[in-house]
Structure 1
Amino acid sequence: MIVLLLGCGEQVVEVYDGDTFLLANGEKVRLLGINAPEIGEPGSDIARDYLENLLLHHRVRLVREDVDRDKYGRLLRYVYLGNRFINEEMVARGYAESYFLDENDRLKPRFDSIEIVACKNRRGLWAFNVYQPPVTVDEKFRIIDWREAEKYYYQNVTVEGKIVRTHRTKRVCFLNFDPDYRHTLTGVIFASDLSKFPKDPQKFYLNKKVRITGLIKQYKGAPEIIIKDPAQIEIIR
C-alpha cells in the first residue's frame, strides 16, 4: 500500500455524484472502495446531495493506495474529513455500495460487513430498491423471460433464458442473453466476487439455460443484473 497525505488538505469545490468530486486544484477524485449511482440513475441525486453536504467547500485529506488514477484520469483515494472516513460513511449510511476490483483488498471485508448492516436496516438508498440485496435460495420472485427485462427496472425478479455470449475482462465477467449485448439484458459478475463462482464462469455458463435472480437496473440504456453470489444463478439445463 502507498499512502499519500496531502498536507492540510485540498478544498472540495464541486461534487458530481455520490463517489466523485472536484478539488480546487482542478483534480477530480473518485472515492475508493465504493460505488454510488451514476448521474441520472435512481438515487443519484440523493447520494450526491449527501456527499455534497459533507464535503463541499471543506478541505479533505486524501489517502492513496497502489493505483494512482483510473482510466478517466481521476485520482483514486480514500478520503478523510477530520476524523471522518468518508468512503466508509457513504456505505454505512446506505448511499453507496461496497465496491472493490481486488477481492484481496484489505478493506473489502470491513466495507462488506458495513454494507450488510446498512442493507438489513434499509438505510439510505437500500430503502428504495436501488442496490442489489443479498438473495437467499428460498426466496421466490416472479419468473420472466429475459426479453421482458426492460419492463421490470428496479424490481427483484427471476429472469430465464440462455446465455449465448460471454466476455471477461480484468474487472468484470459479462453473461449475455443476446449477441446484441449493448441493448439487451446482461448478467454482471465483478472481479471481487469471482472467487465465489465456478472457475472460468465465462465458460461455465456459456450455452446454458439459466435463471438469474436479482434487481434489474438500467446501465447505458440497457438492463443488467449484478450477480454477487452463486445463489442468484441457477442452471436449468
Structure 2
Amino acid sequence: MEQKKIKLSIVILTIFLINLLIPTTYVKAWEIDDDGYVNYIVDGDTFDVTSVGRIRLADINCPELGDPGADEATQFLTSLIYNKDVFIDIDDIYGTGPYGRIIAVVYVYYDDNYFQNINQALLDAGHAVITDYDNEFNPYTWDILVEYDSGAPMWDPVPNDQNWELSTSYSYDVDATDPSGISEYWINDTENFQINNNGLISNK
C-alpha cells in the first residue's frame, strides 16, 4: 500500500488573555479579550477602537466636557493611546454599560516587557477619580504596569513527521505550554487538515 509522508508545519498564536499576578494576600487576574487601533477620542474616559467599538474605561470618571479639567484629561488620554494599538480587558459580567459602550480596562505597550494600564494612568495623573461600579474589576488592586510574556510557546513534546495510509482517517494530538496560556492553535495547511483549540489535528 502506498504511503504518503507529510510534514505538518504548525504555528501557535499566543494571545495574552490570562496572566496571574500573585501578591502576598490576593490573586489578580487580567486578560486581553480584544485589541484594535484607537481612531477617535471622545473625552477623558471614552474613545473608539477600530473593529471593536466605543470603549468606556471601567471604574473611573473624568470631568465631563465643558467642566474644569475635561480638556486636560482628554489631551492626556490622547497622548497615551490615539493612533496606537490597545489591548482590551472587557467586563465579563455585563460587557457593556447603560449607553451601549464597552466597559473595559485598557492597556497599551509601555516597553518590551510591560503593558501600561490606561485606567490607572489617568488616576495617577490626577485626571480621574475612582467610581467602583458593579462589574468584574476592582480598581483598588490595579497596577500601573503589568508584565506580559513575549516569549514563544514551547511544544510538549515537539511534533514529529507522521506517516499514514492514503484515504484513511487521521488524527494527531499536539500540546504546547506557555506562562500566559495557549488560546488557539493554527495550522498552515487548512485545505487538507484542521486543528481544534485542544491541539487535535485531523484530516478533512
TM-score (norm 1): 0.42
The structure whose residues are more often helix, as a share, is 1
In the superposition, the TM-score normalised over structure 2's length comes to 0.49
Q: Which has the higher strand share?
A: 2
* Structure possessing the higher radius of gyration over alpha carbons: 2
